[in-house]
A and B are shown apart, each in its own frame.
Chain A
Amino acid sequence: MKMRKLSRRMFLRLAAGTTAAVVLVGCQPATPQAAKETVTPGKPPAAEMLNLVFWNGIGPPEGILMQEFMNRWENTQPNVKLNQWTTDWDGFYTKLKLATAQQTLPDLAVIHPWRIAAYGDVAFKPIDSLLAAQSPITANMFKDVPWMAMQFKGKQYGFPMDNFLFALYYNVTILQNAGVNPPQSEADLVESANSFTQPPQKWGFAHPSGDGKGSTWDFTAWLAHEGQKGYISEDGTKAAFNNAAGLKAAQRMYDDEYTDKITPDPSRGLDSYQLFLDNKVAFRLGGTWEKFAFDSVKNLTYQSIVFTPKEPGTFGGSHNFVFTMANGDQRTKAAWDAATWVVLNCDTEWGIRAGHIPALIKSATDPAYLDASKNMPGHRDSVPYMIGLPKVAKLDEVEEALTSSLNEMFLNTKTPKQALAEAEAKVNAILSS
């Protein structure tokens, strides 16, 4: 049989027709598949359930505990399906920003109080209407400091689960062996730390950041220690750290490394947090969240005191529940139920197991919590003296600008005075833009 020859014109027509057919088929809308019905034992079908979305930036290990609490609440709700997302704070705030821009926010989230300047009213709403509507919680059930931290421009934007803050940890064994009492003032601290320092392995003092970088949490703590409330002006428009208090705070941080040499060089990568766990550091300015790790080390005996009793002042914050209120009354009510249930039923356990200080007055004075935190009285007693980060919308930029200058100081490429002057110029430029 003679094969019919395919002409060029015929080939081109066939190819064009095939391409057109492929494009048309590909552009058709997908036939919606029937939703696969998921059935949870003891709960109605998926179509009748209320889907509640909760985002939690408290990463492991405490974040897993928060998940557990939320699961307990979900088990009391036959008609609610809870979708939880737990991650670290960097991932959480990145996703939160995108969700705010796209208005695809969760129903419920946990945030730090200083974030409310960026998200208040753009993402999360004041809770006055929820508090008024026969709420199981009221303001006077909470301690003043954490409750008021969620106020911004006269409105209450959420309520706290806890307080977390720095206090002065000390290694009980090292101090007992040296016959030294815990320091009552900064001068005592420096003198004691000096006596324990034997570089490169033994150090008297460790700053809060493991790698010793010029973190703003550390700087805020030292500023509070000098009696100043935060590093931005109260109206949030300009830097407020290039002054006598700021210089004293920065100079102290610099002297620890270069003058008194009681803390390891951060640029050499010595992890002072790990050194404290290894019983090689006598004092550490550290947070409530470190209890988890400290308790897991068998031969580490620690205690905390106020930083320092004669000149108290430290950095601190809280974890707070916030609500979108844009997804309908039913979901808002469910989110409020979840958050209030967790705070009322789990706040004491949160303090015991996570190490943070409960925000509810009844939980903070619960004998079980007091017993579990008996080696952290410094943290409990420091709550009235804690200062948080500033409530400004461009907090990330401000923090990075200040950190970069403090890092120059830690690397000894700038004096404290030069570092603060440079940081002030950068921060003012950011706040005025």
Chain B
Amino acid sequence: MKLGRLKKRLHTQARREAMWALVFLSPYLIIFIIWQIFPLLYGLWLSFTNLDLLHSSDVKFVGLSNFTRILSDSFVALSLKNTLYFTAGSVGLGIVLALALASAMNGTSFENRWVKWVCFIPYLMGASAIAIVWKRIYLGYSGPLNELLMAVGFPNIAWLADTNSAMPSVIIVSVWTMLGFNGLILLAGIQNIPSEVKEAAMIDGAGPWTAFWLITLPLLKPILFFVITFAFIGAFQAFGLVYALTTGWNAVYGGDPLYHTLTYVMYLYAVAFKNMQVGYGAALSWLLMAIILGVTLIERRFLGAEE
């Protein structure tokens, strides 16, 4: 009898606590549902319609025709190709350089603290400001980069206007922007590795490179997974920086020169907000989500954090 009363009392108390927890979580839950779940579901609905904002009264349910349109849309293929190129370049090069930077910063001297601050500044700058600065650096005839190249005997390069160099030039700017941020996260990961492990490796005769490759890198796997995933998602959704760097005054889709820097999100933006075809734009955004989710799951399979 006493046990039953105790159980009932505990059950009532647990329910009360759960209710209070819900009360305190409710502001966030309401905001989450309104600003995250509802737009997601509404976007899914829109992707099955032909909504054109200029003729919104003519909206109709069109089933999967937006998704079948994606299959024959040459701009989708082109922009995906450009996005993959940009992602592979900026993530690949970015992670390698960030690892190198983190390894170099792994110390506690006064100089290292200043290096950390300086490296982080680009991450704090807005995309438009970065684009203005780098467009000036990349200027064809009078930019400082070309002046330096010509001073040492190299020819002038149309960095952002030549189809061969435009995307690599954009990748360099993207890597420069994220280097400090990625480097600091990896530095935190390196500094969390117990020094005894590295010391034991040294005692066993491992050189610095072997220790890095066989000790540091495997132990850095969870942090690397986070950094690579974060970088991949950011690169695949690249818009602001690329748009500001490459789009001319009279462009609709942008991606100059000759669409060589047109990314998927730039095309999605043009479809939804310039052509006002919101239904088709919603379908494109769901495809983007599916791609990012798929790649993240594959990445987790190979690099995912161990429990």
Residues of A within 8 A of B (CB): 12, 15-16, 19, 23, 59, 88-90, 93-94, 97-98, 100-101, 118, 122, 211, 213-214, 266-271, 274, 393-394, 396-397, 399-400, 404, 407, 410-411, 426, 429
Q: Which among B173-181, B194-202, B205-213, B256-264 touches the partner chain?
A: B256-264
Q: Report yes or no: A88 in contact with B276, Cβ–Cβ below 8 A.
A: no
Q: Report yes or no: A407 in contact with B258, Cβ–Cβ below 8 A.
A: yes
| Per-position 1/0 for B140-165, Cβ under 8 A of A | 11000000000000000011111111
A89 CB contact (under 8 Å) in B158, B163, B249: B249
Q: How far is the CA of A266 from the CA of B161 in the complex (A)?
A: 9
Q: Report yes or no: B273 in contact with A268, Cβ–Cβ below 8 A.
A: no
Q: How far is the CA of A202 from the CA of B270 in the complex (A)?
A: 37
Q: How far is the CA of A28 from the CA of B250 in the complex (A)?
A: 45
13 A-B pairs with C-beta separation under 8 A: A16-B20, A118-B54, A211-B256, A213-B258, A266-B257, A267-B163, A267-B164, A268-B162, A269-B161, A269-B165, A393-B54, A396-B252, A407-B258
Q: How far is the CA of A274 from the CA of B158 in the complex (A)?
A: 13
**Given A122-B54, A271-B158, 18 additional A-B pairs, CB 8 A:** A15-B24, A89-B250, A97-B53, A97-B276, A101-B56, A211-B248, A266-B258, A267-B162, A267-B163, A267-B257, A268-B163, A269-B159, A269-B160, A400-B252, A404-B75, A404-B78, A407-B258, A410-B258
Q: Report yes or no: B273 in contact with A407, Cβ–Cβ below 8 A.
A: no
B258 CB contact (under 8 Å) in A118, A122, A267, A394: A267
B186 to chain A, nearest CB (A): 36
Interface of A is mostly: helix
| Per-position 1/0 for B242-275, Cβ under 8 A of A | 0000001111110011110000000000100111
Q: Report yes or no: A269 in contact with B140, Cβ–Cβ below 8 A.
A: yes
- CB-CB under 8 A from A404, the residues of chain B are 74-75, 78, 259
Q: How far is the CA of A118 from the CA of B277 in the complex (A)?
A: 13
- CB-CB under 8 A from B275, the residues of chain A are 394, 396-397
In the complex, B27 has a CB within 8 A of chain A: yes
Q: Report yes or no: B249 in contact with A88, Cβ–Cβ below 8 A.
A: yes
B74 CB contact (under 8 Å) in A59, A270, A426: A426
Q: How many A-B residue pairs have CB under 8 A?
A: 91
Q: How far is the CA of A94 from the CA of B247 in the complex (A)?
A: 14
Q: How far is the CA of A59 from the CA of B158 in the complex (A)?
A: 25
- CB-CB under 8 A from A16, the residues of chain B are 20, 23-24
- CB-CB under 8 A from A271, the residues of chain B are 140, 158, 161
Interface of B is mostly: loop
Q: Report yes or no: B56 in contact with A407, Cβ–Cβ below 8 A.
A: no
B245 to chain A, nearest CB (A): 14
A166 to chain B, nearest CB (A): 15
B145 to chain A, nearest CB (A): 14
Q: Report yes or no: B24 in contact with A211, Cβ–Cβ below 8 A.
A: no
B154 to chain A, nearest CB (A): 15
Q: Which residue of A lies closest to B17 (CB)?
A: A12
Q: How far is the CA of A211 from the CA of B20 in the complex (A)?
A: 64
Q: How far is the CA of A62 from the CA of B245 in the complex (A)?
A: 25
- CB-CB under 8 A from A23, the residues of chain B are 27
- CB-CB under 8 A from B75, the residues of chain A are 400, 404
- CB-CB under 8 A from A267, the residues of chain B are 162-164, 257-258
Q: Report yes or no: A59 in contact with B249, Cβ–Cβ below 8 A.
A: yes
| Per-position 1/0 for B51-64, Cβ under 8 A of A | 00111100000000
- CB-CB under 8 A from A266, the residues of chain B are 257-258
Q: Report yes or no: B161 in contact with A100, Cβ–Cβ below 8 A.
A: no
- CB-CB under 8 A from A268, the residues of chain B are 158, 162-163
Q: Report yes or no: B161 in contact with A101, Cβ–Cβ below 8 A.
A: no
- CB-CB under 8 A from A397, the residues of chain B are 275
Which 10 A-B residue pairings sit nearest by Cβ, starting from the closest?
A: A269-B158, A269-B161, A101-B53, A269-B162, A267-B163, A407-B258, A88-B249, A396-B252, A400-B253, A97-B276
Q: Identify the interface centre among A59, A89, A400: most chain B CB within 10 Å of its CB.
A: A400
A200 to chain B, nearest CB (A): 9
B264 to chain A, nearest CB (A): 15
Q: Report yes or no: B163 in contact with A411, Cβ–Cβ below 8 A.
A: yes
From known contacts A101-B56, A267-B162, infer whether A396 and B274 are also in contact, taking CB-CB under 8 Å: yes
Q: How far is the CA of A211 from the CA of B158 in the complex (A)?
A: 11
B68 to chain A, nearest CB (A): 12
A203 to chain B, nearest CB (A): 15
- CB-CB under 8 A from A94, the residues of chain B are 273-274
From known contacts A12-B20, A97-B276, A101-B56, infer whether A399 and B252 are also in contact, taking CB-CB under 8 Å: yes
Q: How far is the CA of A23 from the CA of B30 in the complex (A)?
A: 13
